[in-house]
Chain A
Amino acid sequence: MYLSVNHLSKWYGDYEALRDITFEVKEGELLAVLGPSGCGKSTLLRCLGGFEPVQSGDIYLNHERITDLPPELRPVATVFQSYGLFPHMTVLENVKYGLKFLSLSRQEATKKALAMLERVELAQYAHQAIHDLSGGQQQRVALARSLVIEPDLLLLDEPLSNLDAKLRVSMREEIKRIQQDLHITTIFVTHDQEEAFSMADTILLMNQGNVVQTGSAIDIYEHPAEVFVLDFIGKSNLLAENCYVRPEKIRMGLPTKNQPAQGEICQVVFKGEIIEYDIHCFDGSNLSVVTLNQSDYLFQVGTKVCLSYTEKTLGG
């Protein structure tokens, strides 16, 4: 495996920030570390980057043990949440900075940096000051600066959190495109499920310093390993201890002779492309149902409905 993280643990005094973390990443893969605030995902990234020492465990990158290497000696580049751009340097100087430690001539370094700026469509801003750029442009400079040194592993810490919603969507595609073009193994940290689902090949879901589940977006959504995953990823109706059904998997209709009413609609939330219904079932339970806004007919509050669905089991 290209990156192997084995039994990694990290303590801050008495607080265990990472607990026996083990996972692997294939070469060229894009892994998203997903989890709620304070689950340890940024700590994990900092440990991989060499910014935090670990108490136990090993990190192997390209068959080399890098656990104890300082950040400057690891073939790993990190793009921080606040980008960490050098405010006293121009765009080009920022992108060139890491190349000076790779024994390249000045001309070669400039050529390479300019080529990378072209790739991120910022060549025309090469000689501008950092603070003259927009948030999205700064993001791309930070990305170019990390990519130009051709690291074995690229780490992105909440890379899109400082951008507005629209820019975030376009930058997702941009990062994915560049990552695939350069075939660079990448790990990015996010708390946004949609971001992880749309970008990542594999998702590593964390909670309270533990890895809860690893797999593709479909795996995690369709086969949640435990209640936390079910709660954190999408919406769900927990039916019994281990049984659940996703709101969009419930079919809802008006009662017929053969299919009597099972509940009554107590709330309708119109969200444009989808409609959310809260149903009070006659057996005392409550269910959430989501339908696509496909027909002209909208169920009203108070309407009695019949429901059909298939229960799923956690971990199944």
Chain B
Amino acid sequence: MDLRKRHQLHQAVDRGIRWLIAGLVLLFILYPFIMVFKEALMSTNHFMTVSEMGEFVLANQSLIKNSLLVATTTSILATTLSVGISLYYFLAPNWLQRGLSLLFMITMISPPFVSSLAYIHLFGRRGFISHQLLHLTWNPYGAHGIIMMQTLGYLSLNTLLLIGFLKAMDKSVVETAQSLGADTNHILLDIILPLMHRGIVIVASLTFIRSLADFGTPSIIGGSFKVLATEGYLNVIARGNIQEAARINLLIFIPAMLVFILYTHYLKDLTNRDHGNPAGKFSLRRQGWLFQLVRVISILLIGALILQYLSIIMNGFTVRYQGKSSLSLANIYESRPYISSTFIRSIVYALIAGVVGSFLSFTLVYYSQVRQIKWMKWIDFIAMMPYIMPGTFFGLGYIFAFSKSPLKLVGTSLIVVLNVTFKQLAFATKMASGSLSQINPELYQSTHDLGGSYLNELKDVVFPLSKEGLYVAFINGFTSTMTTIGSIIFLIYPSQKVATLVLFDLVQSGKYRLASVIACYIMLICLTANGLYYLVLKWMKKVRGNVSIR
């Protein structure tokens, strides 16, 4: 083909891709988002007045109070404790760091309700610790249960994030303090904690948003203690009042959005200031009251995390007969009817979401960040929105947006796949942004200089040089799809169930042992995917090493 014609064709395709991505993001993120607002604020034939809004808020005052109480307490607790563990991790010897990293990775990629399931198993009315060991009669259900389990549930991700911040810290700052005579206590208090404060705010914000949107934990162990998220969920499932559900989700969205603004501010600030030398390993002495304190906290919490997962595994492999527990494979046999095609479907959905989501986000970020196309920055921003939307908010949006023709998708598998794919764009675009900022801009110029087009930039520079980022985005998309529930719970018809929904049904109907088996299966699949990712990464590094030697 003539060079000029080829160039024109490439330009047209390039424009087409841009418009296609923008159209998809607008249709599958912004449109459902607007529809929730519309449905929530539309009262029969007019928009809600301010006084109607006031009345609605007043009517749900106690729910708002409960939600804010749980979210605030959980964020404070989960953040404080994860700061403690991350500091302990940083002072720990190498072998312990490796073990802890593995533990946090495993506990981070777990399905929902695992905390609640373990809590019921250990501390429930017939719980292993509360009933069998301590012979206690207490009510495990209520705000305390939710806070405890959410705190434990968010611990791993928070700690991993904070470890990331610590690792990015300028090593020479800490070593300078050492050389000026500061001991471990002073270094932690005067240097590391103040420098971590941005990371701490980010982690606290994320925890707040996640806690506010979590309906699974309160619906299982909340008992009579109701929060906005559970009410939003019950309004759809039990009462069929989706307008009320939309309004409640809006109530969750507002504080989440405010906290998100704080989050983005600190995140931006953090990237601006991040110009230190990477930390590597500190050689701080493991001594001082602060180190002892974080050590005790960490050992207790790490113990709780291990106990939590062991209890799930044990629960899956034991049966109780005449008051006694014994090892058995009975639960695995019994779980077979619940699995059937569910797991294949879940894996297929997760694979599609992982692959499409990662490529879509990298292409989108290429246009907004590398090509600096102004309006694509808005599309990029819209793609970030699912980050702050509670899962049920996003799911409701899909019901409102895609229940009428010509866009009638409700009841199809496609709507579920689209939902999980576009929901994870928020994380994947962040990943893409970090990954693409590592690419030397001159490579793009060289592509054009040698006769390439914009399409070649994508094909020959962006994708080949972002392999690692693409893998991470894929694995995250896969894992989050395998473990997600909030956004798809309203979209899935009984005949198209995915694994997390089966798990949720089993927990709700009190079949905890079978639920544990399903939870184990989900964990196993996610761990296998993550394991494969590490093997691929290792292999890639080896190949790259060989290339550089040559």
Chain A positions within 8 Å of B, measured between CB atoms, are 49-53, 70-74, 76-88, 97-98, 101-102, 142, 145-146, 149, 155
Contacts and interface: CB of A to CB of B under 8 A. Distances in A.
Contacts of A49: 175, 179
Given A82-B277, A86-B191, A101 B181 contact: yes
Given A72-B178, A149-B180, 19 more contacts: A49-B175, A49-B179, A51-B178, A71-B179, A72-B183, A78-B175, A78-B179, A79-B176, A81-B172, A82-B172, A86-B173, A86-B177, A86-B190, A88-B194, A97-B177, A98-B180, A101-B180, A101-B186, A142-B176
B239 interface: no
B249 to A, nearest CB: 39
A76 B172 contact: no
A51 B178 CA distance: 9
Given A51-B283, A70-B285, A97-B190, A84 B182 contact: no
Nearest to A49: B179
Nearest to A80: B172
A145 B176 CA distance: 10
Contacts of B179: 49-50, 71-72, 74, 76-78, 146, 155
B170 interface: yes
A83 B181 CA distance: 16
Q: Max chain A CB contacts within 10 Å: which of B181, B194, B195, B283?
A: B181
A84 B183 contact: no
A50 B183 CA distance: 13
Given A82-B277, A88-B194, A71 B175 contact: yes
Contacts of B173: 84-87
B374 interface: no
18 contacts: A51-B175, A51-B178, A53-B283, A72-B178, A72-B181, A72-B183, A73-B181, A74-B179, A78-B176, A80-B172, A80-B175, A85-B176, A86-B190, A87-B195, A101-B181, A101-B182, A146-B179, A146-B180
B324 interface: no
A85 B173 CA distance: 6
Interface in B181-204: 181-183, 186, 190-191, 194-195
Nearest to A53: B283
Q: Max chain A CB contacts within 10 Å: which of B178, B180, B195?
A: B180
A50 B283 CA distance: 10
Contacts of B182: 72, 97-98, 101
Contact of B175 (A84, A98, A142): A84
Interface string B91-108: 000000000000000000
A145 B172 contact: no
Q: Max chain B CB contacts within 10 Å: which of A80, A84, A97, A102?
A: A84
Contacts of B190: 86, 97
Please classify the interface of chain B as helix (H, G, I), strand (E, B), loop, or mixed, using the class held by over half of its residues. helix
Contacts of A146: 179-180
Interface residues of B, number: 23
Q: Max chain A CB contacts within 10 Å: which of B178, B179, B183, B283?
A: B179
A82 B173 CA distance: 9
Contacts of B273: 87
Contact of A83 (B172, B178, B186, B283): B172
Interface string B130-162: 000000000000000000000000000000000
A49 to B, nearest CB: 6
A15 B183 CA distance: 31
Contacts of B191: 86
Shortest beta-carbon contacts, A-B, top 3 = A98-B180, A84-B176, A84-B172
A71 B172 contact: no
A108 B487 CA distance: 62
A284 B174 CA distance: 58
Contacts of A101: 180-183, 186
Nearest to A151: B179
Interface string B191-222: 10011000000000000000000000000000
A189 B178 CA distance: 20
B180 A82 contact: no
A197 to B, nearest CB: 27
B192 to A, nearest CB: 11
B510 interface: no
A76 B179 CA distance: 7
A210 B172 CA distance: 25
B181 A98 contact: yes
Interface string B277-301: 1000001010000000000000000
A148 B170 CA distance: 23
A77 B181 CA distance: 9
A50 B285 CA distance: 12
Contacts of A76: 179
Given A82-B172, A82-B276, A85-B173, A71 B178 contact: yes
A98 B174 CA distance: 13
B327 to A, nearest CB: 44
Nearest to B180: A98
Nearest to B283: A51
B175 to A, nearest CB: 6
Contacts of A142: 176
A51 B130 CA distance: 49
A84 B170 contact: yes
Contacts of B276: 82
A144 to B, nearest CB: 12
Nearest to B184: A72
A84 B176 CA distance: 6
A221 to B, nearest CB: 33
A72 B186 CA distance: 11
B507 to A, nearest CB: 46
A145 B170 contact: no
B312 to A, nearest CB: 40
Contacts of A97: 177, 180, 182, 190
Contacts of B170: 82, 84
